[in-house]
Structure 1
């Protein structure tokens, strides 16, 4: 991320220094999320988010009805 873009991010939205940033695409693939759920997370967080946010907000639907 360029310095000018970094300065525009409010402190509340910046990840803590110890937090891992994950690609939403990689997270969805690793946790076998449906494409619809991947798209929902992309709308919420854009291409990257902290692992904590992704784990707290991902919804995995059961394949067994």
Structure 2
């Protein structure tokens, strides 16, 4: 059987729009990530740079 290679997290690209929706980021944070990376970025960079602002308070 042939071995299937999966791309590593650093090679895979995610849509910044989908990432923001999945992690429930507000529009301001989504726009900040879009300015940093454009429309696609690696998940490890998105996770390392995303900020979640608490809406409780």
TM range (shorter): 0.7 to 0.9
Which blocks of at least 5 consecutive residues in structure 1 are unaligned?
1-16
Correspondence 1:51 to 2:40: no
Q: What 5-or-longer segments of structure 2 have no aligned partner?
A: 1-6
Larger RCO: 1 or 2 (CA < 8 Å, sep 6+)? 2
Q: Offset at 1:18? A: 1.5
TM-score by length of 2: 0.81
Structure 1 CA distance for aligned equivalents of residues 48 and 33 of structure 2? 11
Write 1 or 2 for the structure with the bigger share of helix.
1
* Equivalent of residue 38 in structure 1, options 23, 30, 33: 30
- Deviation string, structure 1 residues 5-42 (Cα, Å, up to 9, x no partner): xxxxxxxxxxxx51221000000000000000000000
Q: How many residues align?
A: 49
RMSD after superposition: 0.9
Task: Give the TM-score of the pair, scaled to structure 1.
Answer: 0.72
